[in-house]
C-alpha cells in the first residue's frame, strides 16, 4: 500500500513539522517521507483544509462485548471508532462476564491481531464491578490490562478505593473512577436545577460528584499513588481538580465530548437521546468545563460511547437507559464545542491519553505508523447509511455534520472514511 496525503497541516507539538503544511508519503502503513511537495502517481488523499495528527486515542468507550452483542460488538464498535478517527480505544470492563480475569483480557488482545483499531481492555477493580471485593489486579496487569476501573459504576466503598491506590503503586497502575455518590443521585434522571423542577423530574445534584471527588482526593493524599477522574461534569469538580493539581497531587481528569455542547435545557422535550450519567448540567458548568480544557485542568476528552438498542431508549424518560454513542461524531462535536480552539485541544486525544496510561506515543515523523487524517471543512450526513455502530442512540442522528475524519493509518493499513 502506498498513498500520499497532499498538503496537510500537521497537528503534533512533538513533531518538527507542527503547524506546517506538508505532503506525507505513506508506504506499507508507515510514514516514508515528509516534504513540502512530493511527486506521486498513486492514490492521493486531498481535501480542503486537510489536517493530520497522531492517531486519536479514546480513553472511555463501552462495546458491550461479550454479553450484549446486540447493542455493540468488537467489529461494529471498532468500525465506529475508525470512522471517528480513533486508532486506539480503552474499553470499559462492564461486560458479561465482567473483564476481571486473564481470559477476559486475552479475549481483546487476541482480537487486536490483524485489527484496524487497537483495543486496550481496562480491568475491573472489584468483582462484578459491585464494589465489594478486589480483583487480582497484579495478575490482570501482567495479563495486559491497560487500566483499572469499575467503569460505569463508581467506586463507592472507601476502603476498596484506599487499598486499590496502595496496590496499584506496586506496578504504577492507573486507577480510573467516575465520581458519583449514588445515595445522592438515587432515582434521579437529570441534573438537579431549574429545568428539572419545571419538568417535574427527580434531579441529580452536582454535590454527588463533588463530595466523591473530595473523598478521593483526601484518600490520595493519605495513600499516595495516582487517580484519574472520568466524566467530570460540574464547575465545582473542575475547581477541585484545579486546586489538587496546584497542590502537587498526581491527579488527571477527562470530560465527555457531549458535556462540552449540551446542557439540561436540551431535555425540555424529554428526548432520551440526551439522557446520560453524569447528566448534562447548566450553561455555567459547560463553560467551566471548556475553561478547564483550555487551562489544562482537564487532560483528556473522551467519547463516552455507550451503545443502546432502541428498546432501551424509546421509553418514557425515567425508564430509558443512561448513555449515548459518541465515537463517529466526535470530531464534528469537538468543532461545535471549541470552534477555532479545536486544533489546540487535539493533544487531549493523542498524547495525553497515552501519557496517562503509559503507552508509547505516536508521532508525525518518518517511521510513524499511527495517524488520523481529518478536515474541518468537509460536510457529511450522519444517518442509517453512514452509521457504523449498531446503535442509533445519538442526539446527532439524521443530521448534517460539519467536520469529517477522512481516514486513519494504523497497523500497516489505511482505513478510508470517504
Q: Which residues carry out catalysis? A: 304
Closest-CA residue to 352 (of 275, 387, 300, 404): 300
DSSP 252-292: EEEEEGGGGT--GGGGTT--GGG--SSPP--HHHHHHHHHH
Inter-helix orientation angle 330-338/283-294, to 10°: 100
3-state secondary structure of 28: coil
Q: Which are the contacts of 248, defined by CB distance < 8 A and separation ≥ 6?
A: none
CA angle 418, 4, 36 (to 5 degrees): 125
3-state secondary structure of 374: strand
3-state secondary structure of 396: coil
Residue 117 burial (10 A CB sphere; 0-12, 13-18, 19+):
buried
Separation of CA 397 from chain center: 19
**Do 158 and 215 touch, CB atoms closer than 8 A?**
yes
What are the cell numbers at 167?
496496590
Strand partners, 160: none
3-state secondary structure of 407: strand
What phi and psi, each to the nearest 5 degrees, are found at residue 201? -115, 150
Alpha-carbon distance of 151 to 60, in angstroms, equals 9
Amino acid at each position: 500500500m502506498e498513498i500520499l496525503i497532499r498538503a496537510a497541516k500537521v497537528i503534533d507539538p512533538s513533531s518538527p513539522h507542527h503547524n506546517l503544511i506538508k505532503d506525507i508519503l505513506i508506504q506499507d502503513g508507515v510514514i516514508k517521507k515528509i516534504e513540502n511537495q512530493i511527486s506521486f502517481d498513486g492514490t492521493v488523499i486531498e481535501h480542503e483544509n486537510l489536517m493530520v495528527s497522531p492517531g486519536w486515542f479514546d480513553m472511555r468507550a463501552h462495546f458491550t462485548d461479550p454479553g450484549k452483542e446486540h447493542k455493540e460488538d468488537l467489529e461494529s464498535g471498532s468500525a465506529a471508532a475508525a470512522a471517528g478517527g480513533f486508532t486506539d480505544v480503552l474499553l470499559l470492563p462492564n461486560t458479561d462476564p465482567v473483564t476481571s480475569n486473564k481470559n477476559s483480557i486475552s479475549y481483546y488482545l487476541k482480537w487486536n491481531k490483524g485489527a484496524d483499531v487497537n483495543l486496550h481492555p481496562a480491568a475491573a477493580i472489584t468483582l462484578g464491578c459491585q464494589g465489594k471485593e478486589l480483583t487480582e489486579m497484579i495478575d490482570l496487569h501482567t495479563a495486559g490490562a491497560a487500566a483499572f476501573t469499575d467503569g460505569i459504576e463508581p467506586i463507592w466503598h472507601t476502603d476498596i478505593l484506599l487499598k486499590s491506590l496502595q496496590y496499584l503503586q506496586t506496578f504504577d497502575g492507573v486507577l480510573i473512577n467516575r465520581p458519583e455518590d449514588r445515595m445522592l443521585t438515587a432515582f434521579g434522571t437529570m441534573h438537579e436545577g431549574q429545568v428539572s423542577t419545571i419538568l417535574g423530574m427527580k434531579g441529580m445534584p452536582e454535590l454527588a460528584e463533588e463530595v466523591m471527588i473530595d473523598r478521593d482526593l483526601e484518600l490520595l493524599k493519605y495513600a499516595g499513588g495516582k487517580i484519574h477522574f472520568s466524566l467530570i461534569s460540574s464547575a465545582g469538580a473542575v475547581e477541585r481538580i484545579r486546586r489538587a493539581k496546584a497542590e502537587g497531587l498526581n491527579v488527571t481528569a477527562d470530560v465527555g465530548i457531549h458535556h462540552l455542547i449540551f446542557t439540561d435545557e436540551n431535555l425540555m422535550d424529554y428526548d432520551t437521546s440526551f439522557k446520560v450519567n453524569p447528566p448534562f448540567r447548566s450553561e455555567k458548568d459547560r463553560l467551566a468545563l471548556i475553561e478547564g480544557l483550555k487551562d489544562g485542568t482537564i487532560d483528556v476528552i473522551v467519547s463516552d460511547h455507550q451503545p443502546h438498542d432502541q428498546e432501551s431508549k424509546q421509553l418514557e424518560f425515567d425508564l430509558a437507559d443512561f448513555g449515548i454513542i459518541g465515537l463517529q461524531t466526535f470530531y464534528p462535536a469537538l468543532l461545535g464545542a471549541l470552534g477555532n480552539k479545536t486544533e489546540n485541544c487535539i493533544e487531549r486525544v493523542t498524547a495525553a491519553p497515552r501519557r496517562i496510561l503509559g503507552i508509547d506515543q505516536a508521532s508525525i515523523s518518518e517511521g510513524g505508523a499511527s495517524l488520523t487524517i481529518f478536515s474541518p471543512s468537509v460536510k457529511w450526513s450522519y444517518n442509517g447509511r453512514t452509521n457504523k455502530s449498531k446503535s442509533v442512540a445519538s442526539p446527532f442522528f439524521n443530521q448534517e455534520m460539519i467536520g469529517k475524519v477522512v481516514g486513519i493509518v494504523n497497523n500497516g493499513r489505511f482505513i478510508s472514511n470517504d
